[in-house]
A and B are shown apart, each in its own frame.
Chain A
Amino acid sequence: EAGVTQFPSHSVIEKGQTVTLRCDPISGHDNLYWYRRVMGKEIKFLLHFVKESKQDESGMPNNRFLAERTGGTYSTLKVQPAELEDSGVYFCASSHFRGARETQYFGPGTRLLVL
């Protein structure tokens, strides 16, 4: 079974540009999460989809970030316009069911550098 995949693996852009990150969850997983790790800090939760619906987007930093999951399959996270402080590793995770014993399976992340 294929794991969570993310594209691209790396992205280097200039301040003010737009970047779109993609996440393909494990097939059949309704829950999809986005997280971000800024260098030197802990991984932080951004938002959670159940199928195509945003369940919790309390971690989104500001309105420059837009996440979508049309059709309830893959998800995109767009940053527009990018700022220097957006640099970091963006992780996606998916899970099959909610509950105390839920395991979130992580992708390898997209490393974003904003210059």
Chain B
Amino acid sequence: ILNVEQSPQSLHVQEGDSTNFTCSFPSSNFYALHWYRWETAKSPEALFVMTLNGDEKKKGRISATLNTKEGYSYLYIKGSQPEDSATYLCAFKGGGADGLTFGKGTHLIIQP
């Protein structure tokens, strides 16, 4: 059974502050690591697909890093804004697998 863990489970951050959270996943049979941003009642929005150890991706104020050897990825948000409030999901894909294995998500709340 694959285990994808995200921490923290929830996070309150003051507007303007920067924050980060973690996704840990199996370090063996790695194929890809996905990050999604999900607001309830909307479609989870794809942020990044990361495949190589040491990958760093950036989209606006959001960036992510990947360490496949130790099995973790960090998501960073710089200068948090209220619209960043959402649940951030990471999903692991192993070699040969069809579907993604998701973590439970980090629920981020930005306080004005």
A binding-site residues for B, Cβ under 8 Å: 3-4, 33, 35, 41-48, 55-56, 58-59, 91, 100-109
In the complex formed, the residue of A with least CB distance to B46 is A103
Q: How far is the CB of B100 from chain A (nearest CB, A)?
A: 6
CA distance A59 to B97 in the complex (A): 11
Q: Of the candidates A4, A45, A100, A103, which one forms a contact with B101 in the assembled complex, judged by CB atoms under 8 Å apart?
A: A45
B binding-site residues for A, Cβ under 8 Å: 4, 31-32, 34, 36, 41-46, 49, 51, 89, 91, 98-105
CA distance A58 to B96 in the complex (A): 13
Asked whether, in the complex, the Cβ of A59 is within 8 Å of the Cβ of B99, the reply is yes
Asked whether, in the complex, the Cβ of A43 is within 8 Å of the Cβ of B32, the reply is no
Asked whether, in the complex, the Cβ of B43 is within 8 Å of the Cβ of A107, the reply is yes
In the complex formed, the residue of A with least CB distance to B45 is A106
Asked whether, in the complex, the Cβ of A105 is within 8 Å of the Cβ of B46, the reply is yes
29 contacts between A and B (CB under 8 A): A3-B43, A4-B43, A33-B98, A35-B100, A41-B104, A42-B102, A42-B103, A42-B104, A43-B89, A45-B99, A45-B101, A47-B99, A55-B98, A56-B98, A58-B98, A91-B44, A100-B32, A100-B51, A101-B32, A101-B49, A102-B32, A103-B46, A104-B46, A104-B100, A105-B46, A106-B43, A106-B45, A106-B46, A108-B43
Task: Point out the residues of chain A lying under 8 angstroms from B49, CB to CB.
Answer: 100-103
Q: How far is the CB of A96 from chain B (nearest CB, A)?
A: 13
Known pairs A42-B102, A48-B99. 17 more at Cβ < 8 A?
Answer: A42-B105, A43-B91, A44-B102, A46-B99, A48-B98, A56-B98, A56-B99, A100-B31, A101-B32, A103-B46, A103-B49, A104-B46, A105-B43, A105-B46, A106-B45, A107-B43, A109-B43
